[in-house]
Chain A
Amino acid sequence: MNFYVLSLIKAALVAVVLLTLCAYLVWIERKVLGHIQLRPGPYRVGPHGLLQPLSDLIKLLTKEGVIPANVNTFLYLLAPFLAVLLALTSIVVIPFGPEVEVFGVRTNLGLTDLDIGILFILAISSLGVYGIAIGGWASNNKYSLLGGLRSSAQMISYELPLALAIAAPLLIVNSLSFREMVMGQQGYWFGILPKWNIFAAPFPQIFSFLIFLIAAFAETNRIPFDLPEAESELVAGFHTEYSSMMFAAFFMAEYANIATICFVATSLFLGGWTPLWPAQYGSDFVPPILLGGAGLMLLYHASQALRTRKWDRYSFPVLGVVFLGLAALFLVPALKPVLVPLFWFAAKSGILIFTFVWIRGTLPRFRYDQLMRFAWTFLFPISVVNLLITGLLVALT
């Protein structure tokens, strides 16, 4: 098939999936946070609030986009555009699965495979700070300005440990391409323990992974590092003055960044799409068992008396059938080589995304000076030491 047609199809698929994912990340976050906080979360729009993202989108689209007086209009409008553009760009280099053959076409699961994919991600995420900084400055609001300043300092500081944490597995795999990175993590120790980078020889990259994760929280402005938008101090920080779709753009950029950084962590440290244990021990059957089990559970509960939630009388059987259908898809031999890697990739990223929400429900926020001290006096030296040890051990072996 023509390269351009194929690329367009893949780009459209990824864009649709990523944007839907961003919308549903909000739903997932509100649901998980809700259950942590003893409340049901979104519940009104659609069964279990499943249509909430749609209604949020309609609401934000139809709101008036207020541009305050005395703002620099060009920069004010540029900032959300920049934020969302850069957040969505980084997805192009993420590999979601191996090279597969679908309907007679051989292709990589993933948009493209740059030789310098990892550098590309770092470059794009460095640019991401401009959206926030410009937005904070252009708003002509003191809270926004403080938020913008904080985020510039924070994101630049945490870029260093982030880059150093990425550098360590690079030494082991010796490639800047994401696809080769994941290929380097194939195989199993003793036939059972995966050769992911967090278990890598000669030096397990578990420290790099943790440093990366902490720096990722700071890069995406999440609790405990959510100072740029610290609600109790700066009202809403850099996006205080934004409304309507401009606000939605910032919001979407934040969630797209979370998704991307989780994808990156999965590819770099958790072996991308490689399963948790070898296929000969039946790891291919994990997705159908999980999905099928969920489907059966829903059908079982649909058969019980449902007095309190009247929506569930319809939503449980429908969702149960959907889950069973998904489980059946995993058993189709033609689709199995495509879906199983995608499942493992999604499962690993999903666990990381859940961790982001979980942490938000648990921890308080750092103070500005503590945040900086943590980055420069703890995280940075640790990541340097980690890199040096890794380098030394790689050189010795």
Chain B
Amino acid sequence: MSGTFLDSTELVLNMGPQHPSTHGVLRVIVKLDGEKVTGTECVIGYLHRGVEKIGENRTYAMFAPYVDRMDYVAAVSNGLGYCLAVEKLLNVEAPPRAQVVRVILTELNRIASHLLWLGTHALDIGAITPLFYCMREREATLNIFEKYCGARLTTHAFRIGGLQYETYEGFEQECLAFCDMFLPKCDEYEELLTGNRIWVQRLRNVGVLNAEDCKAYGVTGPLLRAAGVKWDLRKAQPYSGYDKYDFEIPTCENGDSFDRYIIRMREMRQSVRIIRQAVADIPAGPIMAKVPKVIKPPVGEVYVSIEAPKGELGYYIVSDGSTQPYRVRVRPPSFVNLQSLDKMARGSLVADLVAVIGTIDIVLGEVDR
């Protein structure tokens, strides 16, 4: 800073990898001028486990549980994307019953993921109580997962070609009970936060990312929809029977943190809508398509992407005709969305930086893989 009266130097602040609000082990090197952020640099890789490389050394079925460990708060979505990719490679399709159950569980998982985001984001902004309310409702979805497949977090709920487990007794009723319970709770969160002037002040015009920037960075998910782009893979290229359900894609105009909050709140309500429709009409029939015991897809490559809670989750799998993939490449939404951090945070305050990191909704397991 030359030409100023006082000789002031930049303050370089090393935020993370151990920091309360970097959501895991993200390290951000922040350049500060007073409290103003003049530049950020993300250092990632503290949670790198080489998931993609592991995929080359496992059979197709053996690799399925590994994908749950990427975005561990939305493990069901990860599993769905991988199963769809391998199914496309094998040229099989899951039976209708399996598809509907997949939709129900995936939407429940979307709610769970958004709830965790809401709670931690509110905590970053300084409201400590919503976290506990969100955890209470998230618990209800995890209980359904636990009853269905025995696991709560890294569920491995789906298998290549359909489902391993039939739904349990009372599955439909429990899903409906959750929907009935959840909508009033959603209103409760909105009452705590949406109308709260401090909350609005902290998020309005913070971390603005317009539609052009979103497209330039490849940002997807709620961030893109908050900028006004009506792009949701469930509608744009329906998979797993999403075209059968009647739901809306919420969009906003400003592309700031507050809009992203609104988008995620509305998405949870839309998920409830989808679950209700799906539960009302679960067809009878088999839950597993005809898949050979040893999965050996024909030589070829495939890219399948789904709308995960955080954005477009894509799997690019190359098969060389053996039992193991030749290459597995994952397009993780968190990793791509995180690129926009510097664009959003530059020129704002330290407190805004924390809000922006929260609003991207990153999971470091997915960023680092």
Contact = CB atoms under 8 A, between A and B. Distances in A.
Contact of A361 (B19, B129, B352): B129
B351 interface: yes
Interface string A223-255: 110110011111100000000000000000000
B132 A365 contact: no
B125 interface: yes
B201 A232 contact: no
Interface in B330-352: 349-352
Interface in A345-378: 360-370
A226 B20 contact: no
Given A365-B198, A367-B349, A368-B35, A231 B132 contact: no
Interface string A133-156: 000000000110010001000000
A147 to B, nearest CB: 11
Nearest to A363: B198
A100 interface: no
Given A224-B198, A364-B126, A364-B199, A146 B350 contact: yes
B22 to A, nearest CB: 10
Interface in B175-216: 192-193, 196, 198-199, 201-202
Contacts of A301: none
A36 B126 contact: no
B324 interface: no
B126 A365 contact: yes
A55 interface: no
A360 B13 contact: no
Given A368-B35, A368-B349, A233 B21 contact: yes
B128 A361 contact: yes
A36 B199 CA distance: 19
B351 A367 contact: yes
A66 interface: no
Contacts of B127: 362-365
B151 interface: no
Nearest to B193: A364
A363 B122 CA distance: 10
B11 to A, nearest CB: 6
Nearest to B133: A38
A37 interface: yes
Contacts of B289: none
A231 B35 contact: no
A155 to B, nearest CB: 17
Interface string B62-99: 00000000000000000000000000000000000000
A36 B192 CA distance: 13
Nearest to A37: B132
B349 A363 contact: no
Contacts of A232: 20-21, 123-126, 354
Contacts of A366: 198, 201-202
B176 to A, nearest CB: 24
Interface in A66-119: none
A39 interface: yes
Interface in B221-263: none
Nearest to A38: B132
Contacts of A363: 126-127, 196, 198
A139 to B, nearest CB: 14
A233 B351 contact: yes
Interface residues of B, number: 30
Contact of B201 (A146, A231, A367): A367
B21 A367 contact: no
B49 interface: no
Interface centre among B19, B21, B126 (most CB of A within 10 A): B126
B351 A364 contact: no
B368 to A, nearest CB: 22
B117 to A, nearest CB: 14
B36 to A, nearest CB: 10
B53 interface: no
B35 A224 contact: no
Nearest to B12: A142
A143 B125 CA distance: 17
Contact of A38 (B13, B126, B136, B193): B136
A364 B198 contact: yes
A282 B11 CA distance: 64
Contacts of B11: 142
Nearest to B200: A364
A73 B145 CA distance: 55
Contacts of A223: 126, 128
B265 to A, nearest CB: 16
Given A231-B20, A232-B123, A36 B351 contact: no
A37 B129 contact: yes
A146 to B, nearest CB: 7
B128 A233 contact: no
A358 to B, nearest CB: 10
A364 B202 contact: yes
Contacts of B199: 364
A33 B128 CA distance: 10
A140 to B, nearest CB: 13
Contacts of A39: 132
Contacts of A38: 132-133, 136
A369 B34 CA distance: 12
A233 B198 CA distance: 17
A230 B132 contact: no
A230 B350 CA distance: 11
Contact of A367 (B19, B196, B202): B202
A145 to B, nearest CB: 8
Contacts of A142: 11, 13
Interface in B121-144: 122-129, 131-133, 136
A185 to B, nearest CB: 33
Nearest to B352: A367
A153 to B, nearest CB: 10
Given A230-B351, A361-B129, A366-B202, 17 more contacts: A38-B133, A142-B11, A146-B35, A226-B126, A230-B126, A232-B20, A232-B125, A234-B350, A235-B19, A235-B20, A364-B125, A364-B126, A365-B127, A365-B198, A366-B198, A367-B201, A368-B351
13 contacts: A38-B136, A143-B13, A146-B350, A227-B351, A230-B351, A232-B123, A232-B124, A233-B350, A363-B127, A364-B127, A367-B201, A368-B35, A368-B351
The 8 A-B residue pairs with the shortest CB-CB distance, nearest first, are A365-B126, A364-B127, A232-B21, A37-B132, A364-B126, A364-B125, A232-B124, A367-B351
